[in-house]
Structure 1
């Protein structure tokens, strides 16, 4: 249903805001008068995923930690879930990645920017007694590299800024956004590209070979001398085309077949079908090969 991304300095109070937000949302979802599709509110954080704060000490350990968080987010996102991501989310590229994943599933999104000064965050981090604090050096580096959310970019918008001095989150505005806000459809950048079927290569080889055999058979039986022709490969596969007014040799047809197969193989090897525009059925492959012959055989 919705993705709520929290962002802010380390030890800025994001978890406190996530708890407040979950309590509000839980009550609203449980209300009998609520007609939204949400059935549960889920909070994902470094703590729920057992990601240690030391993971942020260097980039080598941070990357797999962020990948684990993103994988967990993808598993939890769904039409019946309000997902709250209580993590640093300090890199705008990562927030954009979350936005794209949510948009692909047609979920509403918003960002909650938890604001506190660097001095306050350092003090609160030093006062922690739960072994979940950051090293002073790590905290300083994360603050220096923090990329602040902006309401001017689509992946951070709608953006709700919550200063440390506020006692609660703007639940009314957030609730309206995640229940009534516009659902942006997936675009080219977020849509999954359809993959070729597993038997596409087999179909390509088998059908193109059948077309070559049909041409040679027709030439031998009727002395075909070019012009419009229909090849009856099966009851349903009957490609039509126009061939040159001369006898086609086996070697020439085999060469054209290899060229055709090589051209089509690229889409299969890359796992794509030209954004879904290629039909890998026997009928379509046969017609495509006959069209290729018509265009490339010399008269």
Structure 2
């Protein structure tokens, strides 16, 4: 149900704090705790953060995994840098849509301390100095005045975690209200949601299969649609799934009376979003 977003420089103690939180919450909240992070997805940090597209794909994969794990009963901890303000806002929109509380745990260290801790790691787990410096330079500090960064728990290297306060923020605080645009309206037919999920998934499968044999830019024929799709070469599976989730969210709020039009609507949405 609730989401804890870890945040901080590379090697600022986020994973150690995550382990402490997981142990405490499992022992005291009676809930299962899922950890999602760079390690759980086996990301090669230096390779990912050296390439902007790979980093974007990695953030998309982490967000998608969080979305899969979030439910009404369990707690999810996202153990990653989460250093981009816009990305933290995306995560905030996700928890608004799922109607669950969240909080941000900011592991605050100086660049010098984090660099020292990085050097103490096994060589295979270290950030290169170039990547480390670039990430520190790009880091966007969380601000509790922003809704997506609040409630914010700032933890210095010698601090103890405020376990009770974090637990209260997750379990005793109301979830943020949905915007009108994200609230689900009454569906126009009993099988609309099923058809929406099925049809959009089938369209993506057609696209993914076609990409294996087609040249970038070739128009792809979608059964049941009057338009073809032309996929740019730099669009990957994670991006397409993100567009699918956005389309489903919008269409649930603006359902059509004719389920047979879902394929056309989704194809038109993809063409508009991709070009």
TM range (shorter): 0.5 to 0.7
TM norm structure 1:
0.62
Deviation at 1:276, TM superposition (A): 2.6
Deviation at 1:97, TM superposition (A): 0.8
- Residue correspondence of structure 1 range 53-64 to structure 2 within 5 A: 53-54=45-46, 55-64=48-57
Contact (CA 8 Å) 1:6, 1:114: kept in 2 or not?
yes
3-state SS of the aligned residue for 1:107? coil
- Residue correspondence of structure 1 range 198-237 to structure 2 within 5 A: none
Deviation at 1:279, TM superposition (A): 4.5
The equivalent residue for 1:184 is 176
Contact (CA 8 Å) 2:182, 2:253: kept in 1 or not?
no
Contact (CA 8 Å) 2:37, 2:80: kept in 1 or not?
yes
The equivalent residue for 2:8 is 8
The equivalent residue for 1:292 is none
- Residue correspondence of structure 1 range 124-203 to structure 2 within 5 A: 124-129=117-122, 131-166=124-159, 168-188=160-180, 190-191=182-183
Please report the RMSD computed on the Cα atoms of aligned residues, expressed in angstroms: 2.5
| Counterparts of 1:41 and 1:8, CA distance in 2 | 21
3-state SS of the aligned residue for 2:72? coil
3-state SS of the aligned residue for 2:147? coil
Residue 28 of structure 2 corresponds to residue 50 of structure 1:
no
Contact (CA 8 Å) 2:33, 2:74: kept in 1 or not?
yes
Contact (CA 8 Å) 1:44, 1:73: kept in 2 or not?
yes
1:20–1:195 CA distance, 2 compared to 1 (3 A)? farther
Contact (CA 8 Å) 2:181, 2:253: kept in 1 or not?
no
Larger radius of gyration: 1
1:273–1:110 CA distance, 2 compared to 1 (3 A)? closer
TM norm structure 2:
0.67
| Counterparts of 1:172 and 1:6, CA distance in 2 | 17
Which consecutive residues of structure 1, in runs of 5 or more, have no partner in the other structure? 31-38, 200-269, 282-299
| Counterparts of 1:8 and 1:94, CA distance in 2 | 14
| Counterparts of 1:73 and 1:119, CA distance in 2 | 31
1:189–1:51 CA distance, 2 compared to 1 (3 A)? farther
Residue-by-residue CA offset, 1:158-180 (whole Å, 9 max, x unaligned) = 000001121x2110110111111
Contact (CA 8 Å) 1:100, 1:190: kept in 2 or not?
no
| Counterparts of 1:137 and 1:176, CA distance in 2 | 40
| Counterparts of 1:47 and 1:119, CA distance in 2 | 23
Q: Which stretch has the larger CA shift, 49-58 or 271-280? A: 271-280
Across the two proteins, how many residue pairs are aligned to each other?
202
Deviation at 1:81, TM superposition (A): 0.9
1:183–1:273 CA distance, 2 compared to 1 (3 A)? closer
